[in-house]
Amino acid sequence: MLDAGIRRQWPAGSLLLREGELSDHVVVIEAGRVKVSSSASSGKQVLLAVRGPGDLLGEFSAIDGRARSATVTALSPVTAIVVPGKVFRALLINDGKATFSLLRMVVSRLREADLQRLDYGAYTVSERLARLLLDYAGRYGQTDDDRVVITLPLSQTELAHATGASREAVAKALKRLRELGAVKTARRRVELLQPDLLAELAEGLPSVHLDADGDGLPR
């Protein structure tokens, strides 16, 4: 499949796939990271996932022929292989092992989506943000002395899209986390200074650091 594709490069901020467009090629990332996002009719944006090297994108439209369900944007310079839809479909028809691998990937992403929906319904904005930062630290974090640096260049707006909250609510939650000493932030940079404390807040556990008004925000 890769031999039948074309290697392309995209600078940070460019679109690899656009929500609503009619195309059926798939993209296999070789280097760099992208964000997958979708928008509601109200205009509200949701960050669905972050993908990186080895990830496959665009498989839904390649299989069912429908319009793209999400937009894929480069977070950093990206190198990827673009494979025509007909080549991808032929592979799935002729190679059962490849088809099963794709099925496992789809199931994994469905589980991920289920957990995301649970977070939206069961946790406060502050708790969702803490859970998201811990998840990103586990996937994309680099240990630097006694802290973990998240290497994704995400803005507060993008963090808000990922948590299903307003930018103002996320900014408030980040401010409280900084005051508590749990995180340190800079432009498109988040450092986890106390992951254990963040994990406590992520589960909504009682803490002496939380205000008694029950808003779930650390003081």
pLDDT, tens digit (0-9, with 9 covering 90-100), for 58-75: 999 999 999 999 999 999
> Residues in the chain, how many?
219
Mean pLDDT value across the chain? 89
Neighbouring C-beta atoms of residue 3, cutoff 10 Å: 7
pLDDT value of position 4: 86
pLDDT in tens, 76-85: 999 999 999 9
| CA dist list (Å): 163 to 46, 62, 87, 110, 156 | 8, 29, 36, 17, 10
pTM comes to: 0.82
- Give the model's confidence band at 217: pLDDT under 50 very low, under 70 low, under 90 confident, else very high: very low
What would the two tokens of residue 158 be? 């993008």
Higher pLDDT, 21 or 206: 21
The pLDDT value recorded for residue 2 is 81
Per-residue pLDDT at 218 exceeds 50: no
CA distance 6 to 164: 35
- Tell me what pLDDT residue 158 has: 92
Nearest C-alpha neighbor of 17 from the set 4, 55, 168: 55
Q: List the single range of 76-80, 117-121, 183-187, 208-212 with lowest mean pLDDT.
A: 208-212
Please tell me which residue, 207 or 100, carries the higher pLDDT value: 100
- The neighbour count for residue 46, using CB atoms within 10 Å, is 17
pLDDT at site 205:
52
Pick the range with the lowest mean pLDDT from 118-122, 161-165, 184-188: 118-122
Amino acid at 137: A
Amino acid occupying residue 145? D
What is the average per-residue pLDDT within 30-49? 90
Average pLDDT over residues 5-29: 97
Confidence of residue 20 (pLDDT cuts 50, 70, 90): very high
